[in-house]
Amino acid sequence: MTRVVSLVPSLTEAVAVTLPGALAGATDWCARPAGLDVVRVGGTKNPRTGEIAALAPDLVIANEEENRPADLDALRAVGVEVLVTEVRDVPQAFRELARVLAACGAAARPRWLDEAEAAWSALPVPERRTTAVVPVWRRPWMVLGRDTFAGDVLARLGVDHLYARHAERYPRVPVEELRAAAPDVVVLPDEPYRFTAADGPEAFAGLPCALVSGRHLTWYGPSLAEAPRVLGEALRAAHR
């Protein structure tokens, strides 16, 4: 069996569900599946590369957005093979998941991946489109910008975020400007910043706010199968 270290929480879940026993290590942020018992190697932005190399993995899986090139180069420099994914939209997520799982030793596509792809291909055309701003951080306020996986997820659910054409992928935007943009809804995920009913909506008084699962909005893995339903319910709840 291929011995794998994952530096991406969503890929950790995908590999653990598909190939039990393949993971030798994962980041401190890899919380799924629950009870995952592997060596922890630090954060996505500050992995302990020496400890990863000491695990003698056949493959380290990473992502061009979540992991720093310098850390990946340090692993390559000591002979560790690194597979780097790029995921900017839903179709690309399915392609990259299939590539990662094959590289990790999967003999066939797992059922959950087929089910996830079917769930997204069966989406009805939205009855109406809504506009949104999607904060992902606070102090300073940062929102989804151009070419993001989460932005494509929302677009397929009928939600067009207002900074999709911004020059930056995660621009810093003053909250006063976000309010002045007057979106139909403010989408507040619980990661990477943990927005809650008590932390976030108060900054957007008078605007509908949808508190959504960050795992379903930003992760590409088994959660993709239920993401359309879970996110759809949260978005509809904001307008009740």
Rounded distance between C-alpha atoms, residue 45 and residue 11, angstroms: 15
Q: How many helices (H) and strands (E) does the chain have?
A: 9, 11
- Position 127 scores a pLDDT of 84
Top-confidence residue, 124 or 216: 216
Tell me how many degrees the CA angle 8-233-88 measures, rounded to the nearest 5.
35
Structure tokens, 17: 């569900």
Task: Answer whether 160's CB lies under 8 Å from 101's CB.
Answer: no
pLDDT for residue 125 is more than 90:
no
Q: How many CB atoms within 10 Å of residue 111?
A: 10
Stretch among 89-103, 195-209, 226-240 having the lowest mean pLDDT:
226-240
Q: What is the mean pLDDT of the chain?
A: 95
Specify the pLDDT at position 55: 96
**pLDDT score recorded for residue 78:** 94
Q: Which residues lie across from 137 on neighbouring strands?
A: 142
Residue 18 burial (C-beta neighbours within 10 Å; 0-12, 13-18, 19+): buried
pLDDT at 1 over 90: no
Q: What is the mean pLDDT of residues 4-23?
A: 96
Q: Does residue 126 have a cis bond before it (omega within 30 degrees)? A: no
pTM of the model: 0.92
pLDDT in tens, 64-114: 999 999 999 999 999 999 999 999 999 999 999 999 999 999 999 999 999
pLDDT single digits (tens) 162-195: 999 999 999 999 999 999 999 999 999 999 999 9
pLDDT band at 53 (very low <50, low <70, confident <90, very high): very high
Residue 240 has a pLDDT of 64
Contact 224, 116 (CB under 8 A): yes
pLDDT given at position 239: 72
Q: Is the dihedral of CA 194, 197, 200, 201 positive or negative?
A: positive
| Model pLDDT, residue 188 | 97
